[in-house]
Structure 1
Amino acid sequence: MTDATHDIHHAAKEGFAAKADHYVRGRPDYPTAIAPWLTERLGLRGGTTVLDLGAGTGKFTAYLAKTGARVIAIEPVAEMRRKLTQALPDVDARAGTAEAIPLPDASVDAVTCAQAFHWFATPAALDEIRRVLKPGGRLGLIWNVRDESVPWIAALTRIINQHEGDAPRYASGAWRRVFPHAGFGPMHEDIFRHGHTGTPEDVVINRVRSTSFIAALPAEEEAKVVAQLRALIAAEPSLAGKDEVTVPYSTSAFSTEKIG
């Protein structure tokens, strides 16, 4: 099989391959409101076909499967794709990239990119997404975003940001520059409140370790980050000594339609 990772960002290729297990354990799920959003905004139901692009380990793919639609998942990193197929054996999971989608023209009713579009926010990728969408098909872009109005979460972000390098990120807003784009209508944004509940080890430490550029660090550098995270947890009254904590998020869900 052709290697689909040769033209993806090095932080994604190295980090996600190395820490797929941390991604499974550390990443939050999505709010219950995402189910009606998939039906109302993207039109997913039985008899439709949806492509999950940059599907990772299948965190979001599982929500697509619940709509009754036929689901195709494209993920270039083999280690992530393996986790997806283990969790969702009925999903058609394939290697591929946003600029080389292995599907025919006008073959899907919707495309989703969850926690992913910032990695491939280029005109070429949008042209390729438009190619595989049927007329009137929908594109959905979804991100879970930590609530940095909470002081300890802002401190957490500062720890993470020391290592971001040149990795594309949702927070930079750079992905927005490719819109408006020929062949797509106006963009709609819906925001949902959300929380990620679990042990501090999973929702704080494993979540950070699943970040591409943290996961790609040399072992000794990653260990320093983990030590900083443990110190943050120990110093924060809402976290220290707790078996279960909730990290507050908002989920931003954008949708647009293929036109012309």
Structure 2
Amino acid sequence: MQLHEKSQGYREGAKDYVKGRPGYPPETEAWLRDTLGINQNSKVLDVGAGTGKFIPTLRKTGAQITAVEPIAEMRDELQRAYPDVLALDGAADGIPLPDASVDAVICAQAFHWFATSAALADMARVMVRGGMLGLIWNGRDETIPWVAELSEITNRYEGNTPRYRTGAWRKAFPAPDFEPVSEKQVRNAHIGSAEEVVLKRTMSVSFIAGLPSDERAALERDIRALIDRTPVLREEKVSFPYETSMFAYRKKQGCLAAP
């Protein structure tokens, strides 16, 4: 699988990605446990694991975790932070694991990059019968005026970058190997300084991290200007509002691993 050209920005932005991305709300733990059935006896694969942002949440289940990430810079950050997690170089449509070797596959903030029938087929291949696929994203709450204004500033740079907010990832379903189980949305927030949760978060976006330096500098000036003219963003602690969306699918019982 060839990486999308806009994903190359993650090579430059790996460290900012770690600092700038929000975590996941407490409801995520119940979703992993009760909807996806993940527990201390489970083997879980984190596909498109990036720097390992979702690993602390996964660890709370007690499951054995394997991560797959194609971008070396992101994988290096993951291995540095979680040396006990097996981090493999691989893509969603070329997972370097045997057939029927995991109980669940998780794609956290990632599935829109590889929402193809080939990727879903390979994820089904590595799952046991009845295995679970969980897709989860933190999406900006653009009903808040300053968040909507921030999006207006950044969206002009997105080009053809795959993004969760477009909903294009849904075209991968219905998929022959999976049946839908549930869909859930909960509130979330990223708390910190405006520098961390607004500026660094924005600059870590793939299509922004990969911009030429002069365009990045201009964008940074626009974001700092937004912060300066927005009273709530000048406070010591800022709450960046998100909606966390969780989607669960089950591998159909009749689906066998590839021969």
- Report the TM-score range of the alignment, normalised by the length of the smaller protein: over 0.9
Q: Which residue of 2 aligns with 1:3?
A: none
| Alignment partner, residue 133 of structure 2 | 139
Deviation, structure 1 residue 10: 1.2
For structure 2, list consecutive stretches of 5 or more residues without a partner in the other structure. Answer: 255-259
Secondary structure of 2:180's aligned partner? coil
Counterpart residue identity of residue 7, structure 1: Q
Unaligned ranges ≥5, structure 1? 1-5
Please say if 1:8 is aligned against 2:3: yes
CA distance in 2, matches of 1:85, 1:67: 20
2:90 maps to which of 84, 96, 99:
96
Aligned residue in 2 for 1:36:
30
One-letter amino acid of the counterpart of residue 253, structure 1 = M
Q: What does residue range 105-254 of structure 1 map to in structure 2 within 5 Å? A: 105-240=99-234, 242-254=235-247
* CA–CA separation in structure 1 for the residues paired with 2:3 and 2:45: 19
Instruction: Provide the secondary structure at the position in 2 that maps to 1:186.
Output: strand
Aligned residue pairs: how many? 253
What do the CA deviations read for 1:224-247 (whole angstroms, capped 9, x no partner)? 11100000001111112x221000
What's 1:72 paired with? 66
- Partner secondary structure for residue 7 of structure 1: coil
**Distance in 1 separating the partners of 2:206 and 2:148:** 19
Paired with 1:75 and 1:239, the residues of 2 have a C-alpha distance of 34
Find the aligned partners of 1:225 and 1:135 in 2 and give their Cα distance: 48
Question: How far apart, CA to CA, are the structure 2 residues paired with 1:209 and 1:15?
Answer: 10
2:53 aligns with 59
Aligned-residue Cα RMSD (Å) equals: 0.9
Percent identity, please. 52
Q: What's the CA shift for 1:188?
A: 1.4
**Aligned residue identity for 1:21:** K
Cα distance in 1 between the residues matched to 2:72 and 2:195: 26
1:17-32 → structure 2 map (5 Å cutoff) = 17-32=11-26
1:255 aligns with 2:248: yes
**Change over 3 Å in CA distance of 1:28–1:120 after alignment to 2:** same
SS of the counterpart of 1:201? helix
Deviation at 1:135, TM superposition (A): 0.2
CA contact (8 A) 1:62 1:88 kept: no
Give deviations 1:161-210, integer Å, cap 9, x for gaps: 01001110001111001111102112411111111000100100000011
Residue 110 of structure 1 aligns to a residue in which SS? Answer: strand
Alpha-carbon deviation of 1:119? 0.2
Deviations 1:212-259 (A, max 9, x none): 00000011100111100000001111112x221000111000000000
Maintained 8 Å contact 1:197/1:247? yes
Rounded Cα–Cα distance in structure 2 between residues aligned with 1:43 and 1:33: 14
Q: State the 1:116 CA deviation.
A: 0.3
Which piece of structure 1 moves more, 159-168 or 178-187?
Answer: 178-187
Report SS of the residue matched to 1:103. Answer: coil
Distance 1:187 1:232 in 2: 41
Please give the alpha-carbon distance, in whole angstroms, between the structure 1 residues aligned to 2:57 and 2:85.
Answer: 12
**Which secondary structure state, in structure 1, belongs to the residue aligned with residue 197 of structure 2?**
helix
- State the TM-score, normalized to the length of structure 2: 0.96
Hey, which bits of structure 1, 4+ residues long, moved more than 4 A? none
Q: CA deviation at 1:65?
A: 1.7
